Structure formats: C-alpha cells, structure tokens
Amino acid sequence: MRRIALLLAFVLAVPAAVAMVRLAPSEHWETPPDSGPQLTPPNPAVGTWPPYLRRHAPGPLPTPTQTTGVARIVVLLIDFTDVAPDPAHNGAYFDGRLNAGGSAHSVRSYYQEVSRGALTVNATVIPTWFHSTHPMSEYGADSATGVDDANGPIYRLVTEAVRAADASVNFAQFDTNGDGVVDHLMVVHAGAGQESSPSNKDLIWSHRWAVLDADPTTPGSQPLTVDGVQVYGYTMESEDFVIGTVAHEFGHDLGLPDLYDTDGSSAGAGIWDIMSLGSWTGAPAGSSPAHMSAWSLIRLGWVTPTDVTTAQVGTAIDAVETSGKVFRLSLPGTTSEYFLIENRQPIGFDAALPGSGLLIWHVDDSQTSNDQDNHRMLDLEEADEGVSGDRPTDSGDPWHDTAAGWGPDTSPDSHAYDGSVTGWRVRDISASAATMTATVAHDVTKDLAVSAIRVPFTEAVGKLVRTEVDVRNEGVQSAKVTLQVDVYRETLQPSARVAGWTVGADPLAAQTTAKFLLNFTPVSPGRYIVHAILVDANDEIPSNDERVAHILVNSFAFRDPVTGPGGWTTNGLSSDPNRWRIVNET
C-alpha cells in the first residue's frame, strides 16, 4: 500500500516538476508566441530577401543575458536522409571555426575582441553527426509567405537533434547558472544555408529562435526537457557557416535585436554593426564581420558612454575598438532619444570596413526596430547623406577632415525625430586616425568663429592677392563682430607685419556668416601668413576665434604651356637630367 502511495505521489508530482522547468526572466528572454525566427540577413553578394517573405512585427527588446565571463555553447551536428555533410566537416573542424584563439578568425576571437576581453565563448562541439529521419526539405521548405515553415515550425529540427543526442550528451552541464535552462545551444545542419542562396526554397535559413513547443501535435505547449533542464533558445547555422553568420546569431542569444531593416525597404544600420549588414564584411563575405555599433556595445555593458554636459573643445576621440570610448549627447525631456559618437578604425575585425572616421548615431530606444525609415531605433548620420542619400554602406559614411562637421545647419542635421532643434554639433573634425579630435558642443548663447580664410596657393610679386575671411555666428543670438586681419612675411612677429585691417559687422544674426574681402600686394618674394582673429569675442568656444592661412609669393610667374605628353624626346642616356630649367626670365 505504501508503495502504491509513493508511486501515486511521484506521478502526481511530474506535472509540477515539468511546470517548474520554465524560463527564468532574469537570465533568458522569451520569444513572443506570434514572433518568427530572427533571420541572418542574406549575403548581399548573391541575393536579397525572398519577395514572398512576410516579416513578423518585431517584439519588445530583450534583456541582455550573460555578457561577461565564459559563455558555454553546446553544438549539435545533424544531417538529413538526402543531404550528407562534407567529410572534412568533423568535430575538430568546427572546434577551430568556433574556438580558435590568437590571430585566427573565429567566433571566440571575434567576441573577445569586440568585448575587449569581457566575454569568452567556449563552444563544446559534440563530434557526432546525428541523423534526421527526414529529408532537408521537410524542415527547409518555404511557404507562400515565409521560410522554413511549409511543414511546421523550423524548431522541430532542434527537437529532433536534441532527442537524438540525449543518450550521449548530458545537457545539464550546459546550464551553468542553475536556472533550469540550457544557456546556449547551436544546431549545425548539413548542406548550405538559404541566406547564401535565397532562391532555393528547400534550404534552411540561419536564424535564432526558441523551441516554443516540443510536440506541436499535442494540444498545449510542451517544453523540450532533457536531463532535468529545458532546451529553449537556440541558433541554427549550416555546416558552411561563415564567422559573421554565427557571431550575428549569437548576438541575438546575448540579447541584441536585428538592426537591419526587417521590411527590406532600407539598409537599416548598414554595414557598421554585425547585427545589421556588417555580418557580411570581409573577403570572402562574412570572414571579417564588423564590430558592433556603440549602441550595441552599450546595451551589452561593454562600453560606458561619456555624457557630454559642457563644450568639449578639440577633444580627443580614441578608436572605440581598443579604447571603448563613446560620447553620448542627451536631449532634454527624454531618456530614450539621444546621439552617440564613436571613432571606428580598420583595427582587427573592423579592418574590412570600407572607411574610417567618426560615426554619429541617432538613437530612439522607444522604437523596437529599424523598420520605419523616418524614425529608426538606430540610425547612422552619414557624412555623405546629403549627396548620396540614406545608404550606410560605403566609405563616405564616417566623418573626417571637415571644419563644418555636423550640426543643425548640415545635411544630415542634428534635429530630433520630431523636427525640433537639438542644438548639438560636432565641428572641426580632424583627419581619420586612431585618435581623432573634434569640438563637441550644444547650442551656445554666444559663439563667433573664424570659419574660413581663402587665399590663392601662390602669387607673383606685385600682384594683388585676393583674401576672403568668413566669420560665422554659431550662437543662438546676434552678436557684434570685430575682426582683426594681419599679413606677415615669413614669421608671426610684429616686425614682420606688412598689412592689417580691422573690420566688423554689427549685428551678425545667429546661424549666419559674414564675408570680408581684403586685398594686399606683396612687394617681395617669400611665405606670407594671413592671420585673422576676433577681438573681444568673449564667447563660449574661444578655440575657433582665430585662423591662419599661407600663400607663397614668387619673384616670377611660372606658366606651364605643355598640353599632354606628346612630342617629348630624351637622349636615352643616364646623363639625361629630365628636369625643368628656366631658360627665359623675361
């Protein structure tokens, strides 16, 4: 009788035990039931999204999971009745692709570099190809509106792989935090991935999703439970995966959303974040994926931004790849909308980017995706946007070598999404380098700037030198301008001064420019220096109150009348000097 009672108690306890094997919200994020898989973007070199694909509306942003220490991944390999794996793709092969250290490109080396040592990926590859009882098309066949869903949800393949491996794998050891859920699962299937051949409707598209129901044929949602732990979130890639694909999908596992435009109407965040099109940078495509954007790094806790509260004049901005330095420009009345500034350089995995310089991001955390082209969650303020349009995929996107820089008067401008003027500006941006400089400031009440001096590169003695000086009022109120312009020969010493003027404008309206034309005639050859300085400006950014320009004055006017290379002859000997000579000074 007691034995029967114990047995009955055990049977009654089973549902409660199963019910307890649920997700711990503090460690894992649960996929909304109506959400589909998070697909890796298609390889842009071979195709685009299938025209029939109907994308699911993005759900709320997940809470990032473990982003420091060691992240353990269990990797299962599975083939199909009609698709066998490449014989060279054994456990050692995948271990190298995932875990190689040092200078080798692997998923581990990518995350160690991007996190600057905060996170180490440790993938345990189960070196056995488990066998599906179905052909690949059973899982990969596309429906009229989706991929891998004609015969049911693609996570059915995960269920089959886990159950096939259960006899030889202790899944409990991959629940390192003891929350009852496997930390990270990666399923590698035989054959190619559809992201590299979008028109093949029987291939499987690499993705991140979750096992929402281990037995879709049974009413209700059944958790996939093995060895006392639940298998829920997973990533799935083909045996031919590139580093960028796996690193992109693992970014989802850590809690990052897709940053490409999921409706396909634009490039989203472009190639400047691996969670967008940056998963495909490198040659071959995907071999050197881009680093994460400043926004992604902040979200995962790998960067702490510096909030700009006062004008940063000529401030140093080090390469984010090695320094983690990011500036944040806040907007009044909101914590969700702001700008981020980072310096991206061709360092490490970022070596495959097409350009370098400052990236300026417009962020609105109240959005959940980059689908709305006029109001994205993460939008790049491209330096060439005014000329090339919204296309964050080329070398013209970063900012460098520009005094005007970015602000309320540029294209793109620094306005908020609602069109209001934020007043933020990034001026005097240096050449692209590992350490760049720029002036980062908010609207100031008073800021006059000598914004330009235009003189010819060279002129002859006795000729009139046309000198133009621009003064811009960068403040928000009109201001009186008093400008002193002096011309020196060879050195900025009082004894070397050869001409000078004091000119002005009263008042100069806010956000307007005054142009002054001042001419002088040099009487002897040499290097002439034009020095312009604002007198009694008393403004908030004094570093832009003066500027110099140089002109070379010669005692003769040199003119090269030769047009084209034709008609030239040489004696063919080593004595041929091949150099210009002045043969007539008249």
Give, for all 586 residues of the chain, the pLDDT tens digit: 333 333 333 333 333 333 333 443 334 445 555 578 999 999 999 989 998 887 766 777 777 888 999 999 999 999 999 999 999 999 999 999 999 988 889 999 999 999 999 999 999 999 999 999 999 999 999 999 999 999 999 999 999 999 999 999 999 999 999 999 999 999 999 999 999 999 999 999 999 999 999 998 888 889 999 999 999 999 999 999 999 999 999 999 999 999 998 777 788 999 999 999 999 999 999 999 999 999 999 999 999 999 999 889 899 999 999 999 999 999 999 999 999 999 999 999 999 999 999 999 999 999 998 888 899 999 999 999 999 888 999 999 999 999 999 999 899 999 999 999 999 999 999 999 999 999 999 877 688 999 999 999 999 999 999 999 999 998 878 899 999 999 999 999 999 999 999 999 889 998 899 999 999 999 999 999 999 999 998 887 788 899 999 999 998 765 555 555 555 565 555 555 555 555 555 5
Spell out the SS3 assignment of 184-235: CEEEEECCCEHHHCCCCCCCECCEEEECCCCCCCCCCCCCEEECCEEECEEE
Whole-angstrom distance between the N-terminal and C-terminal Cα of the chain?
Answer: 128
Entry pTM: 0.77
Residue 386: C-alpha distances to residues 1, 22, 57, 310, 397 (Å) = 84, 51, 30, 28, 11
> What's residue 62's pLDDT?
74
Location of structure tokens 């041929």 = 576
> What's residue 576's pLDDT?
55
Identify the bridge partners of residue 400 per DSSP, sorted by sequence position: none
Residue 212: how many other CB atoms lie within 10 Å = 18
By DSSP bridging, strand 513-520 and strand 465-473 are antiparallel
By DSSP bridging, strand 69-79 and strand 185-189 are parallel
Asked if 212 and 221 count as a contact pair (C-beta separation under 8 A), the reply is yes
E-strand ranges in 14-154 read: 38-39, 69-79, 119-131
How far is C-alpha 29 from the geometric centre of its chain's CA atoms?
24
**125 vs 94: CA distance, rounded Å:** 7
Q: Indicate the residue type of 338.
A: Y
Cα-Cα-Cα-Cα torsion 17, 18, 23, 25, nearest 10 degrees, comes to -50
Q: Which helix (H) or strand (E) holds 110?
A: helix 107-114
> What's residue 5's pLDDT?
36
Asked if 331 and 314 count as a contact pair (C-beta separation under 8 A), the reply is no
Residue 458 backbone dihedrals phi, psi, to 5 degrees: -150, 155
Q: Indicate the residue type of 102.
A: G
> What's residue 14's pLDDT?
34
**149 vs 171: CA distance, rounded Å:** 27
> What's residue 61's pLDDT?
77
> What's residue 337's pLDDT?
98
Tokens of residue 556, six digits: 């003769």
By DSSP bridging, strand 233-238 and strand 312-318 are unpaired
* CATH architecture assigned to 448-554: Sandwich (2.60)
The residue ranges of every structural domain in the chain are 9-255, 294-441, 448-554
**242 vs 287: CA distance, rounded Å:** 6
